[in-house]
Amino acid sequence: MIVALAGHVDHGKTALVRALTGIDPDRLPDEKARGMTIDLGFAHAVLPDGQTVGFVDVPGHERFLTNMLAGVLSIDSTLLVVAADDGPMPQTHEHLAVLALTGVTDVGVAITKIDRVDSARVAAVSEEVRALLARAGYDKPDVMAVSAIAGTGMDGPRAWIAGKAAAWRRRSAAGGFRLAIDRGFVVPGTGLVVTGTVTSGTVSVGDRLLLSPSRLGARVRGIQVHHASASVASAGDRCALAITGSRIEKATVRRGEWLVAPALHAPTTRLDVRVRTVEGRAVKHASPVHVHIGSASIGARVLVGADGFAHLTLQRETAALFGDRIVLRDDATGRVVAGGHVIDPFPPARRVARERRAESLAAMALPDARQALDALLRVEGWVDLTRFGLARNLDGIDALGGGVRIGRAGEPILVSRETKDALGQAMLAGMRVWHDKHPDLPGPGKAALLAGLRAWPTALAEAELLERIARGEIVQRNAVYHLPGHQARLAAGDAAAWKRIEPAIAADRLRPPRVREVAALLSLPPEEAESLLVRLERFGLLVRVAPNRFFQPDGVVALGEIAAALAAESEDGAFTARAFNERSGIGRNLTIQVLEYLDKAGVTQRTGEFRHIVRSAADAMG
């Protein structure tokens, strides 16, 4: 269990942590010199029953609110600390607002420095704090009067903590591993160490993880949980991980990064969230804000939606998932204006009617994954199960009653029967129209086919296309599609030319001849040779990868397989253009052209000098 101590500066949070744990959470020289907490401090105590409780001492000065927020977005309980001589102060109100907005339900109060005032003042401050918490939604909070320096009243917070720990249920370890990094540093003889609270899943020594959103591979060399060596850390544990990796050791690992299971690396710059505003403060539509999520603070623009939903466009990527707590601060004043949770970390790129989007988000917001999936299917008519499972960090999810599962095994989609039938009929009708307009061509390529189905999401249309092919209602030949019975043949001259070109292209499928070389082979001007190759591409015999290169489809698949093999061999699933060139042997210039084509086709995604696999080339080709 993790307990945060929140409250105004100089109200005695650090002294209370020392009294409870025997550990000084202030670690920076400036903190000790100034007697003021600047950054997050951590300590722990072993209770009589053997359970270990972690404590987070957060800064109380308004200038360090960013550091405070990095410490409270992954906690279980909070002790709000209020000095008896001062009473509630500005940061008391600010910190309490953060706790209420982000759904922290266990909040107790420690009235400190009671040795400096009389009993009447202690009683007055206690009543004032109770009223303050009641307005924030906390009924009948436990209020304890203490002096951490004199040791007076310390049995109260100790009993409160023991009671919370006894009732605390360890977070489920289901799902993939996630940890929001709040510190990264180098220990001589150990190497790079990162610390944080495990948000979900488990991690063991030897596990391979990814730093996200940087996408740097890491292997876990060692684990400490509350400063004790361990072989495993699980959801809810405060831990330190010693990590190593070919690229990560040279990187600067900062607060705000996530360390995640590789399957959970899905950085995003857009979030749909549900928030509540601070009383008396409004979130202005299209205004700049700072978003606090995990341990990060990121600039963003907020678009206010209906029913408490909002859309955030972030200035840089984050690895957020469903349920992550967020806090919004006004960019101009720095004050907290709203807080809540992430609902959809992967919102649709295209515009959706405001009312319909609110319906979809209301379905997604349901805490139970099965209920949310059922509700979303009723609203949207389809659900991308892979994306839904990723957003919720689910180990697996079954299709539910009313839907039909379609798509490839690794890319399942759940669709209502009504939506499936409407899409299928529109697809077949579109094919008939295409054949009527182009009777001399074999059929459209995938891009042309899907262009006529823009009313439906591409992923859904691709899945339905596979269904219609499996049922024999649409025929795939190379990279084109047609209805059964449709016949289109190459013109006699093109067919004869293809017989001469095919052996030359097949002889080196990874490095086919250039357009001018084909022109020389056929004794044609380059312009005529290019027109011929374009016509052959329309028949699905060739794929234009670069302005001067046409590949056979199996050549493109082979190049994609080289990329996939390089990624699989890398600890972080990434490869460079240089590695691809060396493995394929096709030359530097063609390597760049091929990789740019694979990026455009959605096979690979580039991040700096590295690329990773998004999907197989065979899937992208059809």
| pLDDT per residue as tens digits for the range 566-601 | 999 988 889 999 999 999 999 999 999 999 999 999
In this predicted structure, what is the pLDDT of residue 68? 60
- Gap between the Cα atoms of 325 and 99, Å rounded: 10
> Where would I find the beta strands (DSSP E) of 48-115?
52-57, 77-83, 106-112
With 0-12 CB in 10 A as exposed, 13-18 as middle and 19+ as buried, what is 399? middle
Determine the average pLDDT of the residues in 202-226: 93
In this predicted structure, what is the pLDDT of residue 592? 97
Q: What angle do CA 44, 49, 51 make, to 5 degrees?
A: 35
Determine the average pLDDT of the residues in 466-493: 93
pLDDT at residue 36 tops 70: no
Q: Are 57 and 66 in contact (CB under 8 A)?
A: no
pLDDT at residue 413 tops 90: yes
Q: Which residues contact 596 (CB under 8 A, 6 or more apart)?
A: none
In this predicted structure, what is the pLDDT of residue 345? 98
Q: Could you tell me the CA-to-CA distances from 55 to 19, 45, 183, 459 in Å, in that order?
A: 12, 8, 16, 46
Determine the average pLDDT of the residues in 487-499: 93
- Gap between the Cα atoms of 52 and 226, Å rounded: 8
Query: Which amino acid type is present at position 341?
Result: H
pLDDT at residue 400 tops 70: no
Query: Which amino acid type is present at position 181?
Result: I
213: cis peptide before it, omega within 30°?
A: yes
In this predicted structure, what is the pLDDT of residue 50? 84
Q: What angle do CA 416, 422, 426 make, to 5 degrees?
A: 145
DSSP β-ladder status, 208-212 and 216-225: antiparallel
Q: Are 521 and 501 in contact (CB under 8 A)?
A: yes
Report which DSSP code applies to 117.
S
Q: What percent of the chain has pLDDT over 90?
A: 67
- Round the CA-based radius of gyration of the chain to a whole number and report it: 30
On the CB side of 330, CA atoms within 13 Å amount to: 13
pLDDT digits (tens, 9 = 90+) for 249-308: 666 788 889 999 999 999 999 999 999 999 888 899 999 999 999 989 999 999 998 889
In this predicted structure, what is the pLDDT of residue 385? 92
pLDDT digits (tens, 9 = 90+) for 14-31: 899 999 999 887 654 543
Length of the chain (residues): 622
Q: What are the b/e assignments for 217-235, b being 16+ CB within 10 Å?
A: bbbbebbbbbeeebeebbb
The mean pLDDT value of the chain amounts to 90
Among 450, 447, 472, CA closest to 461? 450
Q: Are 71 and 182 in contact (CB under 8 A)?
A: yes
Among 275, 255, 279, CA closest to 69? 255
In this predicted structure, what is the pLDDT of residue 571? 81
Q: Are 401 and 370 in contact (CB under 8 A)?
A: no
pLDDT digits (tens, 9 = 90+) for 436-465: 999 889 999 998 999 999 989 999 999 999
Structure tokens at 292: 């606090």
- Gap between the Cα atoms of 487 and 546, Å rounded: 29
Determine the average pLDDT of the residues in 485-505: 94
- Band of residue 396 on the pLDDT scale cut at 50, 70, 90: confident
Report which DSSP code applies to 214.
T
Among 306, 295, 77, 313, CA closest to 198? 295
Structure tokens at 594: 């091929």
Structure tokens at 457: 């999401």
- Band of residue 34 on the pLDDT scale cut at 50, 70, 90: very low
DSSP β-ladder status, 604-607 and 287-293: unpaired
pLDDT digits (tens, 9 = 90+) for 517-562: 999 999 999 999 999 999 999 999 999 999 999 999 999 999 999 9
pLDDT at residue 563 tops 80: yes
Q: Which residues contact 569 (CB under 8 A, 6 or more apart)?
A: none
pTM: 0.86
- Gap between the Cα atoms of 191 and 195, Å rounded: 13
Alpha carbon of residue 346 to chain centroid: 8
Determine the average pLDDT of the residues in 506-515: 95
Please, what are the domains in the chain?
A: 2-167 (3.40.50.300), 178-264 (2.40.30.10), 419-482 (1.10.10), 509-621 (1.10.10.10)
Determine the average pLDDT of the residues in 316-330: 94
Q: Are 475 and 522 in contact (CB under 8 A)?
A: no
- Gap between the Cα atoms of 222 and 241, Å rounded: 6
In this predicted structure, what is the pLDDT of residue 185? 86
Laid out side by side, the sheet with 403-406 consists of 382-384, 413-416, 403-406
Segment of 99-113, 114-128, 232-246 carrying the highest mean pLDDT: 114-128
Q: Residues 588, 590, 591, 593: is their CA dihedral positive or negative? A: positive
How many C-beta neighbours within 10 Å does residue 90 have? Answer: 12
How many C-beta neighbours within 10 Å does residue 151 have? Answer: 11
Q: Which residues contact 42 (CB under 8 A, 6 or more apart)?
A: 25, 54, 55, 56, 57, 195, 238
> Where would I find the beta strands (DSSP E) of 336-410?
336-344, 382-384, 403-406
Phi, psi of 21 (to 5 degrees): -120, -20
pLDDT at residue 69 tops 70: no
